[in-house]
Amino acid sequence: MQIIQKGNQHTNSSSRDGHVPLAIVNHISGGTMGSMDAWFTSKDNLQSSAHFGISKSGIIHQYLPIERMAWANGLTAANIKKATAVIIQEEAPTNPNKYTVSIEHEGIDGALTEPQFTASVWLHKYIAAEVKRIYGKELLLDTKHVIGHFQVDPVRKPYCPGPKFPWERLYAALKTKEDEDVKVDKAATVVNGNRLADEGVLIEGRVYVPLAAVGKALGAAVDWNNITKTATLTTKEVK
Ligand SMILES: [Zn+2]
């Protein structure tokens, strides 16, 4: 999955003023990806922006770095109290833009295409990984921290990201750890100077090697009992 940079000097943003991103807010663009690109980079736009946009074909555009605040969910102090999302209530009276990352989805009613859904799941995980890398903090991908614009601003934006947005499927997908998250690699292992070519695997920084391979390298006899699932290593006496 790749991210195409689209922001320019006209893309609206502000400082996060020291706030760490705590939540992701999902939006629907209400128009085409082309019109979103044009609007978020227009000198005539003095009112809104978002960090990311995802097209129906599953292409991800980035308009602002995560370190900057987007103008995506701005609320007046009075309206912050009306937010239904727990995270917004807890952080009140802080402007939600200060501690959120916003994703726009190309579309009208919230229904996502398959490539768009796949890209959105990937992007949520990417954002959480970036928050961890940049700030050293966990952005949890759960119902409290992954929300919709309607939960931030139920007064002005009750239909963003739309009635067909796949919330249940998104939360389920964000719970599963994809294979690509787990780094599995071949590991060369050396025992007493004997290299066991490709006998080991490296899984998330830990090397796993079959006991039989190590035993043989040490000159031991290895007896495997398939009934008791026991490997017995008998070492020869070294004189
Ligand atoms: Zn919105």
Q: How far is CA 71 from CA 16, 81, 208, in A?
A: 11, 19, 48
Q: Which residues contact 137 (CB under 8 A, 6 or more apart)?
A: 20, 131
Residue 80 or residue 57, greater confidence: 57
Q: What is the pTM of this model?
A: 0.74
* Residue 28 pLDDT exceeds 70: yes
Ligand 1 centre to CA of 42 (Å) is 18
Ligand 1 centre to CA of 161 (Å) is 6
Rounded average pLDDT over 7-16:
97
Nearest one of 57, 69, 61, 21 to 41, comparing CA atoms: 61
The conformational region for residue 69 under phi > 0 = left, psi -120 to 50 = alpha, else beta, is beta
* Residue 239 pLDDT exceeds 90: no
DSSP, collapsed to helix, strand or coil, labels residue 205 as coil
Ligand 1 centre to CA of 26 (Å) is 7
pLDDT digits (tens, 9 = 90+) for 158-202: 999 999 999 999 999 999 765 444 444 556 666 677 676 666 666
Q: Which domains, ranges and CATH numbers included, belong to the chain? A: 3-177 (3.40.80.10), 184-234 (no CATH)
Ligand 1 centre to CA of 84 (Å) is 15
Ligand 1 centre to CA of 232 (Å) is 63
Rounded average pLDDT over 78-98:
93
pLDDT score, position 178: 53
Ligand 1 centre to CA of 178 (Å) is 28
Ligand 1 centre to CA of 14 (Å) is 18
Banded pLDDT at 81 (limits 50, 70, 90): confident
Rounded average pLDDT over 56-63:
98
Could you tell me if 94 and 74 are in contact, meaning their C-beta atoms sit under 8 angstroms apart? no
Q: Please state, for a pLDDT cut of 70, what percent of the chain lies above it.
A: 80
Banded pLDDT at 77 (limits 50, 70, 90): confident
